[in-house]
Amino acid sequence: MGQEKGKLCDEYEIQDILGRGGFSVVRRGIKIKTDGQKSSQQVAIKTLKRFGTSASTPSGSFRVSAEKSIASMGLPAWNQVSISDALLTNEILVMRKIVENVSPHPNVIDLYDVYEDQSGVHLVLELCSGGELFDRIVAQERYSEAGAAAVVKQIAQGLAALHQANIVHRDLKPENCLFFNKSDDSTLKIMDFGLSSVEEFTDPVVGLFGSIDYVSPEALSQGKITFKSDMWSLGVILYILLSGYPPFIAQSNRQKQQMIMAGDYNFDERTWKNISSSAKHLISNLLQVDSDRRPSAEQLLAHPWVIGDSAKQEQMDAEVVSRLQSFNARRKLRAAAIASVLSSKVLLRTKKLRTLLGSHDLTKEEIDNLKIYFKNICAKGDNATLPEFEE
Ligand code: ATP
């Protein structure tokens, strides 16, 4: 059994909200020393909401030590959990595996502690205060292929460590890559393992929300998802880094899905003429529909462009950054809309749900997914309320 050690609020002062996910709230925390004074150690506390229970704030939670007790948290059998419980359980299992087999690694987020209470589970994580990958790049205004190669190298290093530990991330995208701090040479860390899989759990947990831009053809066609699926996602990130737009652009998700499954993308001459052939060659290798042909993370780390030998040093066209700015801004708006819809309790009332969904710039597919999601929550009965979080 996990040893009960104390409450979260006795050991961390919980501060401002750093961000919200579909099923989570992330807050800054400051470690309280044994003499009751605040230490200088700042952390990120990610609260994974548990649905179908009465709301409660992290203040009533109990602490369990990271390595020992995640295993003994009495998690339900895999086939008995709801979508949200499955996501919650899965993230904890993957984080346990990371603590056991990967940590500490400079390019993978570290887990320090876990607390559990009625409202869900609170993961005490390494704080990354340097911002999301694309946010930092658009703030720089100009950057070079060599700068993009340095980013790809860090992601590949993190993936190599995860893959070696038999973990497939499955949801690799720029918003899941955060810089540790604001310094120019800050490390980049891979995070958010809610959809990841470990060897014991090959059964896919399907994400209902968000973009399919980074999803591999094999994941879309329900085929076998392997480490190479993460390499596809990295190929998409690289394509966007060098052009400012995604490789698969379509009017609807269905059409986009078909394009992804057919590997139907191109290097438009006007945008790509100044990009090195080595970079394009690398993208072509990563974005191969046949996953076996894609390079592994280890192989990528030996590629001349990633090492920096063949990546151009000169600044890229300003247009690339301005396109990336608009792509990033649109993406953030939609993510914020989905997170706010998901975290709003009043939406259980269908009329309000319709009004709110209509007021956001979401695709038809996203609205449909949200409707299915709320229908499932409502179907759980009168006690199934979305948890409230104090702000
Ligand atoms: P979803 O869980 O639905 O995929 P998400 O990936 O955005 O969404 P979270 O991982 O809960 O959800 O993160 C929400 C936001 O909180 C992130 O976008 C990020 O800005 C912030 N955040 C998460 N973890 C940290 C961290 N360790 N340090 C600093 N900020 C963080």
Give the residue from 252, 217, 215 showing the smallest Cα distance to 237.
215
Shortest-distance Cα residue to atom 16 of ligand 1: 19
CA–CA gap between residue 364 and residue 382 (Å, rounded): 28
Which residue in this structure is represented by tokens 């609205």?
A: 367
Q: Is 46 annotated as a binding residue?
A: yes
With the most atoms of ligand 1 within 8 angstroms of its CB, the residue from 14, 16, 24 to mutate is: 24
DSSP string, 350-376: HHHHHHHHHTS---HHHHHHHHHHHHH
Interval between CA 178 and ligand 1 midpoint (Å) = 9
Residue 300 confidence (pLDDT): 98
pTM of the model: 0.81
* Segment 329-349 mean pLDDT: 65
337 vs 51, more confident: 337
Are 69 and 2 a contacting pair, CB within 8 Å?
A: yes
Residue 120 confidence (pLDDT): 73
Helix (H) or strand (E) holding 94: helix 83-101
Residue 360 confidence (pLDDT): 55
9, pLDDT greater than 90: no
Instruction: Give the C-alpha distances (Å, rounded to integers) separating 389 from 23, 55, 120.
Output: 12, 8, 11
Tokens of 56: 């409660």
Interval between CA 22 and ligand 1 midpoint (Å) = 9
64 vs 144, more confident: 144
Q: pLDDT-derived band of residue 61, with 50, 70 and 90 as boundaries?
A: very low
Pocket of ligand 1 (CB under 6 A): 18-24, 26, 44, 46, 109, 125-128, 175-176, 178, 191-192, 194
Are 240 and 324 a contacting pair, CB within 8 Å?
A: yes
With the most atoms of ligand 1 within 8 angstroms of its CB, the residue from 15, 43, 46 to mutate is: 46
From the candidates 85, 117, 171, 192, give the one annotated as an active-site residue: 171
Shortest-distance Cα residue to atom 19 of ligand 1: 19
With the most atoms of ligand 1 within 8 angstroms of its CB, the residue from 16, 25, 26 to mutate is: 26
Shortest-distance Cα residue to atom 1 of ligand 1: 21
Residue 126 confidence (pLDDT): 96
CA–CA gap between residue 5 and residue 118 (Å, rounded): 17
171 is catalytic: yes
CA–CA gap between residue 193 and residue 184 (Å, rounded): 26
Which ligand 1 atom is the nearest neighbour of the CA of 20?
14
Average pLDDT of the chain is 79
CA–CA gap between residue 52 and residue 80 (Å, rounded): 14
Interval between CA 26 and ligand 1 midpoint (Å) = 6
Q: What is the DSSP letter of 207?
A: P
Which ligand 1 atom is the nearest neighbour of the CA of 25?
11
Among the ranges given (105-109, 218-222, 248-252, 344-348), the one the predictor scored with the smallest mean pLDDT: 344-348
Does the bond joining 304 to the residue before it have cis omega, within 30 degrees of 0? no
pLDDT tens across 125-183, in order? 999 999 999 999 888 877 899 999 999 999 999 999 999 999 999 889 999 999 999 99
Phi-psi region of 308 (alpha: psi -120 to 50; beta: other; left: phi over 0): left
Interval between CA 328 and ligand 1 midpoint (Å) = 16
* Segment 244-257 mean pLDDT: 90
186, pLDDT greater than 60: yes
Interval between CA 132 and ligand 1 midpoint (Å) = 9
CA–CA gap between residue 228 and residue 242 (Å, rounded): 21
Interval between CA 371 and ligand 1 midpoint (Å) = 23
Residue 335 confidence (pLDDT): 73
Among the ranges given (26-40, 322-336, 341-355), the one the predictor scored with the smallest mean pLDDT: 341-355
pLDDT tens across 80-138, in order? 344 456 566 777 888 888 988 898 999 999 989 888 877 678 899 999 999 999 999 88
Shortest-distance Cα residue to atom 27 of ligand 1: 127
Strand partners, 126: 43
Give the residue from 55, 36, 57, 133 showing the smallest Cα distance to 327.
133
Shortest-distance Cα residue to atom 18 of ligand 1: 19
Instruction: Work out the percent of the chain whose per-residue pLDDT is above 70.
Output: 70
Instruction: Give the C-alpha distances (Å, rounded to integers) separating 168 from 55, 101, 104, 257, 351.
Output: 32, 13, 18, 21, 39
Question: In sequence order, which ranges of 184-226 are alpha helices (DSSP H)?
Answer: 217-220
DSSP string, 312-356: --SBPPHHHHHHHHHHHHHHHHHHHHHHHHHT-GGGGSHHHHHHH
Q: pLDDT-derived band of residue 333, with 50, 70 and 90 as boundaries?
A: confident
The ipTM, to two decimals, is 0.95
CA–CA gap between residue 263 and residue 260 (Å, rounded): 5
Are 91 and 157 a contacting pair, CB within 8 Å?
A: no
Amino acid in the structure at residue 146: A
Give the residue from 183, 243, 235, 242 showing the smallest Cα distance to 213.
235
Give the burial string for 349-388 (b: 16+ CB within 10 Å, else e). Answer: eeeebeebbeebebeebbbebbeebbeebeeeeeeeebbe
Shortest-distance Cα residue to atom 4 of ligand 1: 21
